[in-house]
Amino acid sequence: MTNNIVLQCPECKKPVHWNNKYPHRPFCSARCKQIDFGDWANETHRIAGQTQHSNGDNLDDSLDGSFSDASTGGELDQY
Ligand SMILES: [Zn+2]
């Protein structure tokens, strides 16, 4: 009953049988798996990079302001 599960390769839409003949399921082959994983990794990397960049900018700006304020005051007082 559970021996006949057939999926669709997310990459090329070929039928993929859920058995040991398809070790890369749900992909039909290692190539499709790699293509999909590459897309995903690239996208994640790109989004993470953008988020990190803009976050870093904002964080840097606010941190810079308060940090230099505090440190200048403290250090000026000390010196
Ligand atoms: Zn495929």
Q: How far is the centre of ligand 1, averaged over its atoms, from the C-alpha of 72 (Å)?
A: 61
Q: How far is the centre of ligand 1, averaged over its atoms, from the C-alpha of 3 (Å)?
A: 20
- Any residues with CB less than 8 A from the CB of 15 and at least 6 apart, and which? 6, 7, 8, 9, 28
> Tokens in use for 25?
């399921």
Q: How far is the centre of ligand 1, averaged over its atoms, from the C-alpha of 17 (Å)?
A: 12
Q: How far is the centre of ligand 1, averaged over its atoms, from the C-alpha of 63 (Å)?
A: 48
3-44 residue pLDDT tens: 689 999 999 999 999 999 999 999 999 999 988 877 767 766
Q: Where are the beta strands (DSSP E) in the chain?
A: 6-8, 15-17
Residue 14 host element (H or E): none
Class of domain 6-78: alpha beta
46-78 residue pLDDT tens: 655 555 555 555 555 555 555 555 555 556 666
- Any residues with CB less than 8 A from the CB of 17 and at least 6 apart, and which? 4, 5, 6, 7, 25
